[in-house]
Amino acid sequence: MERKNYLVEELSKEEKAYFEKAIISARNNYIKKNYNYINSNIEELSENIVDEQCSVLELVIKKCEAEICSAIKFELEFSDPKLYRYIKALSYDEKMMLFSLYKKNKSIRLVAKEQKIDKDTVRRRRDHLLNEIKNILGDENNV
Amino acid sequence: MFNNFNLNDEEILYLFEKYKPLINKASKISFKFDEDLNQEIKLHLYKTLTRGRK
């Protein structure tokens, strides 16, 4: 029997049906084998979408609230009225920097990363603030 | 059928190219093209169409 050349001739009806059936069975086998993986991917995706829709704003608000609360708490830490006034007059970034450094014991690198400034800037600001505080305390001792 | 499942590589590649839309359509999961599934289908077809090779 002569060999059929598939480069020239079309597939017969049966061959085409067989070809399609093979594709479908390969697909079904793949889905069966990877059922858990495919479903978990879909779930994760839908969870992320729900998260994005509902809670991004809430998360941002909570984070801001926590930061403002910590800055206010830091002000209240100082019972000395002169020192309290000085600390109150500091900018928000300066207060947050001191709070992170001395209350949360974070490293300079972390604080710089949080505030998106250079490490040297953090050191410089810290030294300046500590000098100011020392001066205030020194004045009080002299009086 | 398929010359007793003894097609050469050239013929198989030709069939892949000819039936590309059908294969690609079957390679979608949740409306997204899945490359692994596409590869799996082609591998399955290749094994089927060459199983009569000596």
Q: What pLDDT score does A53 carry?
A: 55
Residue type, B6: N
Q: Which of A6, A22, A34 sits opposite B11 (nearest CB)?
A: A6
A10-14, A120-124, A126-130, A136-140: which has the minimum mean pLDDT? A136-140
Q: What is the token pair recorded at A66?
A: 């926590």
Average pLDDT, rounded, for chain A: 77
Residue of B nearest to A38 (CA): B29
Q: What pLDDT score does A116 carry?
A: 85
DSSP string, A44-57: HHHHHHHHHHHTHH
Q: Is the pLDDT of residue A140 over 70?
A: no
Residues 9-48 of B with CB under 8 A from A: 10-11, 14-15, 19, 22-23, 26-27, 29-30, 36-37, 40-41, 43-45, 48
Instruction: From chain B, pick out residues whose CB is under 8 angstroms from the CB of A34.
Output: 36
Chain A nearest CA to B44, separation (Å): 6
Specify the length of chain A in residues.
143
Pair A7, B3: CB distance under 8 Å:
no
Confidence of residue B6 (pLDDT cuts 50, 70, 90): confident
Q: What pLDDT score does A48 carry?
A: 53
**Confidence (pTM):** 0.46
pLDDT tens figures, A7-62: 778 888 888 888 888 999 988 888 888 877 777 655 555 555 555 555 666 777 77
